[in-house]
Amino acid sequence: MIELSKKNKLNINIPNAITFIRILLVPVFVFCIIKNMYFESLIVFTFASISDGLDGLIARRFQQQTVLGAYIDPFADKLLVISAFIALSIVDVIPVWLSVIVISRDITIVTGYFFLTVKNISFLIIPSFIGKWTTFFQLFSVFLSLFIKEMDLVSKNDFLIVLFLITAFFSIFSGLHYVFTGINILRNHQKTVSTGKDKKTT
């Protein structure tokens, strides 16, 4: 998380367009899950997951990073992940306990964003290293769960359980990381405000 630059503009470009497409794919993915169309849902999810890396790659390669992209990209990621875990938990493909951990993490992070926004604290969300690994394991858990379900590979369930445990660990650890990061932003803001008041009184 860093301070927002006034030079950044809210504009639509190719990376942002790809992100919006990913958002539109979420209801398509959920519909496929509800209809037990696991092969189709696997294709849609794979495309959406690839677009997650593609928009960031294009933005960095052609210097098209925007404030809009910085906000809608993590929103699209969370929408895809949360929808996937909820839908797959309902059809007993992913365990409920893992979905609770993943969703609780994202709710905590979003609550922190909202709190800082209410406090009029400007910040730009930069995914941390641990956060990127968390997203990877979450997406991989969904992908592998769909693949095993479609291929009916019962023998792979033990590996899937290990993957679920790793995903849970990274989700909890990264969630705590973002919480402490948010607390530091709030403390730095309060120090800045206090310093400004002290200068005015002198």
What one-character-per-residue DSSP string does 12-28 give? --HHHHHHHHHHHHHHH
| Burial (CB count within 10 angstroms: exposed 0-12, middle 13-18, buried 19+), residue 168 | buried
CA-based nearest residue to 83, from 142, 9, 153: 142
Q: How far is CA 101 from the centre of its chain?
A: 14
Give the pLDDT score at 169. Answer: 97
* Mean pLDDT along residues 12-31: 90
Which domains, and CATH codes, for the chain? Answer: 14-201 (1.20.120.1760)
Would you state the pLDDT for residue 201? Answer: 58
What's the pLDDT tens digit per position in 83-139?
999 999 999 999 999 999 999 999 998 888 888 878 787 766 667 789 889 989 999
The whole-model pTM stands at 0.81
What rounded mean pLDDT belongs to the chain? 84
Query: Tokens standing for 40?
Result: 């189709």
How sure is the predictor about 6, in pLDDT bands with cuts at 50, 70 and 90? Answer: very low
pLDDT of residue 47: 93
The pLDDT tens digits for 141-191 are 999 999 998 888 766 678 899 999 999 999 999 999 989 988 888 888 788
Q: Which residues contact 5 (CB under 8 A, 6 or more apart)?
A: 124
Residues of the chain above pLDDT 70, percent: 87
Give tens-digit pLDDT for 59-91.
778 777 777 777 788 888 889 999 999 999 999
